[in-house]
Amino acid sequence: MKKLFRSQGVQKVLALIFAAWLRLCFATMRWTREGQEMAEGVWAAHRNGDPSGAILCFWHGRIPLSPVSWPQAPGQRHDMRALISRSSDGEFIALAMQSIGFPAIRGSSKKKSDPGKNKHGEQAFRDMIRWVKDGGGIAITPDGPRGPHEVMQAGTPALARVTGAPVLLVGLACRPAIRLGSWDAAMVPLPFGRAAMVWDGPLRAAREDDPEALAAEWGPRLSAVTRRAEALLDS
């Protein structure tokens, strides 16, 4: 059964169904937004000729809500891509996100338990550098693809340091939702619910900055806006 659900044809069908489900949810959810002027400032700079790209961060468990945070509008915002792993689960996510309008750059970091296995992370990092330096936006889940949950890895600050691009943190929450028993406690929205989006940033990384130190600083800030989004649903 596991092999069946990971076959390419089945994954394509399931991804289309999931994308249609998300579109229904997005069309019927009532959103509360806080701090979006931070993102709008980055969008406006891009619209006014700033050639730099942008880096968008949200926790892995909020991927199903993420497309709403960066609506596509030609000439208005950076053309967005999403970093998604090359795993079979990543293939499903990549197909669904592409259907919604977020094509993927594929790759992930190597497992510490199996450092010899090629995850195409180095190539993905080079692809992201080129994309962002050319003015594109990249969406990253800095605790993905395998956790630990809500612990930012150094890859996002490293990308910001190399490209000089602004980093935007977005916290996302919705209710009602299905909470999966996965490592990331993934939140899958249900139609006709309420949702919240909270922004922080833009953050910058200088050439002399240590990516590990920035990850230790930025991770709690991303968790803070995520908790704030959840709190808005309680108010």
pLDDT tens digit sequence for 11-35: 889 889 999 999 999 999 999 999 9
Q: Is 221 exposed, middle or buried (0-12, 13-18, 19+ CB in 10 A)?
A: middle
pTM of the entire predicted model: 0.87
Task: Provide the 3-class DSSP secondary structure of residue 6.
Answer: coil
- pLDDT at 70 (0 to 100): 87
Mean pLDDT, the chain, integer: 86
What domain range is 229 assigned to? 2-234
Is the pLDDT score of 141 beyond 90? yes
Q: How many domains does the chain have?
A: 1
The lowest-confidence range among 18-22, 107-111, 121-125 is 107-111
CATH of the domain at 11: 3.40.1130.10
Q: pLDDT-derived band of residue 112, with 50, 70 and 90 as boundaries? A: very low
Instruction: Judge whether residue 143 has pLDDT over 60.
Output: yes
To the nearest whole percent, how much of the chain has pLDDT over 90? Answer: 57
CA–CA gap between residue 175 and residue 129 (Å, rounded): 36
